Amino acid sequence: MANSDLLSGFMTTVTERNPHEPEFIQAVKEVAETIIPFIEDHKKYKEANILDRVIEPERVIIFRVPWMDDSGKARLNRGFRVQMNSAIGPYKGGLRFHPTVNLSVLKFLAFEQVFKNSLTTLPLGAGKGGSDFDPKGKSEGEVMRFCQSFITELSRHIGSYTDIPAGDIGVGAREIGYMFGQYKRLSNQFTGVLTGKGLHFGGSLIRTEATGYGVVYFAKEVLKKRGDSLENKTCAVSGSGNVAQYTIEKLIHFGAKPVTVSDSQGFIHDPDGIDEEKLDYIKELKNVKRARIREYAEKFPKASFNEGITPWHAKVDLAFPCATQNELPEEDAQILIDNGCMGVFEGANMPTTEGAVKIIKDKQLLFSPGKASNAGGVATSGLEMSQNAQRLNWSREEVDQRLQSIMKSIHDNCVEYGAGQNGYIDYVKGANIAGFVKVADAMIVQGVV
């Protein structure tokens, strides 16, 4: 049977078995497109039925999260943990608190995490969780009570050898601190059960910076392979949270010129470039004041705020989507291409829609999928776990050095499986196959479990 027929038959079953899960189906399709031809050439994976097994979570936990708001009213949210795959290590992946969280979103994220964690070179299985709770506009007390209630239930299902959550959208140092405190109280054990902890209680240096720095280290490798560099490249970055901030920081370090930043209301265009001083302002605005990015244009009047518009409308050399899934649709990819953009490097998970990826790759632009280019965050979480197990803290230089070498090895691994005959490197194919092989081989030797 032709690979295209195998793919459409497979996707029909996936769609029937996972109704109302568009994001999950999208993520599976993107992997199946490259894995099905690979499996046809490597029958042991087909005989062990690995593809069907790898898309099914080992376990999904859904639970009630009741909490009390400041007015004394009982409130209710839904909590989730998708424990996707433990073939090569304990479940590992972030927690997302955002009103758009549902099973489809968390299954897609957990599925991506399988391949990403495999690529890191570290022994990390995959999971993802979170809640439809919205931390925006909540008081400190409300956030703390919610986190305590959430982790009180989740605590039965996690542990430093079982499942190690971390942050994602809406979950940063503050939320990890509250969840760690309550977990410690319940278990009466000080263990590395969460990563992204504060530096004075087991957190790793560079974890905060790691995802954004890693994206830029990855982009540097991709450009180097083409005999090019980041220097003087004008860059569009979306989002203004953790990943966006440290992507911008490392772009500045490497002599690039980031000109945009955004949130869900619109984007800032600063044609003079965002420098370290302006970035400090963004960090204060988003991390301390928890305010909206539009205020940037009031502080720096040469910049404009463009309400309801994506950053992909700015004329740039490179694009770094660092906000959320499906934030770079096909029509925006066309604008980037028309404006002479050379490549897209995903900081977020699945920010580029299926149609957008297609036209970017058809034009042979550089494109790196999040599961490769944003793996520095979870990789450094893996390094935090190693330090916790050793009861030691490594220096900033040591962690950064390891992060750089991990990003380089992910890049080289993608090239090994993704290099085409005409010299174009398909990083999507490379990341999917390289990530798949390690997990699939481990699943085969562990038997039908």
Helix (DSSP H) and strand (DSSP E) numbers for the chain: 17, 13
Listing DSSP states for 191-260 in one string gives ---SSS--GGGTPPTTHHHHHHHHHHHHHHHHHHHTT--STT-EEEE---SHHHHHHHHHHHHTT-EE-E
- CA–CA distance, 167 with 210 (Å, rounded to integer): 12
CA angle 299, 304, 305 (to 5 degrees): 90
Based on the shown chain and the rule CB under 6 A, indicate whether residue 83 belongs to the binding site for ligand 2IT.
no
What is the smallest separation between the CB atom of 168 and ligand 2IT, expressed in angstroms? 4
Nearer to ligand 2IT, 104 or 195 (CB): 195
State the binding partner of 92 from ligand NDP, ligand 2IT, none, CB within 5 to 8 A by kind. ligand 2IT
Of 92, 128, 138, 250, which is the active-site residue? Answer: 128
Q: Which of residues 366-385 bind ligand 2IT (CB under 6 A)?
A: 377-378, 381
How many chain residues touch ligand 2IT (CB under 6 A)? 11
Listing DSSP states for 46-67 in one string gives HHTTHHHHHTS-SEEEEEEEEE
x/- letters, 147..166, toward ligand 2IT (CB under 6 A): -------------------x
What is the smallest separation between the CB atom of 295 and ligand 2IT, expressed in angstroms? 26
Give Cβ neighbours of residue 148 (< 8 Å, ≥ 6 apart). Answer: 67, 178, 179, 182
What is the smallest separation between the CB atom of 239 and ligand NDP, expressed in angstroms? 4
Active site residue 128: yes
Nearer to ligand NDP, 25 or 48 (CB): 25
Give the distance, in angstroms, between the CA of residue 61 and the centroid of all CA atoms in the same chain.
21
Residues forming a β-bridge with 419: 425
Q: Which of 27, 48, 243, 336 binds ligand NDP (CB under 6 A)?
A: 243
Give Cβ neighbours of residue 361 (< 8 Å, ≥ 6 apart). Answer: 367, 426, 428
State the binding partner of 384 from ligand 2IT, ligand NDP, none, CB within 5 to 8 A by kind. none
Q: Which of 349, 353, 373, 432 binds ligand 2IT (CB under 6 A)?
A: 349
Q: Which of 21, 142, 163, 168 binds ligand 2IT (CB under 6 A)?
A: 168
Q: Which of 57, 130, 170, 202 binds ligand NDP (CB under 6 A)?
A: 170
Based on the shown chain and the rule CB under 6 A, indicate whether residue 197 belongs to the binding site for ligand 2IT.
no
Provide the residue type at 91 as one letter: Y
Piece in contact with ligand NDP (CB under 6 A), picked from 38-46, 149-157, 341-349, 384-392: 341-349
- Residue 363, SS3 per DSSP: coil
Based on the shown chain and the rule CB under 6 A, indicate whether residue 348 belongs to the binding site for ligand NDP.
yes
* Residues comprising the chain, all counted: 449
Based on the shown chain and the rule CB under 6 A, indicate whether residue 195 belongs to the binding site for ligand 2IT.
yes
- Residue 273, SS3 per DSSP: coil
What is the smallest separation between the CB atom of 334 and ligand 2IT, expressed in angstroms? 28
Q: What are phi and psi of 30, to 5 degrees?
A: -65, -35
Nearer to ligand NDP, 10 or 146 (CB): 146
* Nearest in space to 25 (alpha carbons), one of 111, 141, 88, 86: 111
Based on the shown chain and the rule CB under 6 A, indicate whether residue 239 belongs to the binding site for ligand NDP.
yes
What is the smallest separation between the CB atom of 78 and ligand NDP, expressed in angstroms? 18
State the binding partner of 241 from ligand 2IT, ligand NDP, none, CB within 5 to 8 A by kind. ligand NDP
Give Cβ neighbours of residue 382 (< 8 Å, ≥ 6 apart). Answer: 92, 117, 120, 122, 123, 124
Q: Which residues are catalytically annotated?
A: 128
Using CB under 6 A, list all residues that contact ligand 2IT: 92-94, 116, 166, 168, 195, 349, 377-378, 381
Using CB under 6 A, list all residues that contact ligand NDP: 167-170, 211, 239-244, 263-264, 322-324, 327, 347-349, 374, 377
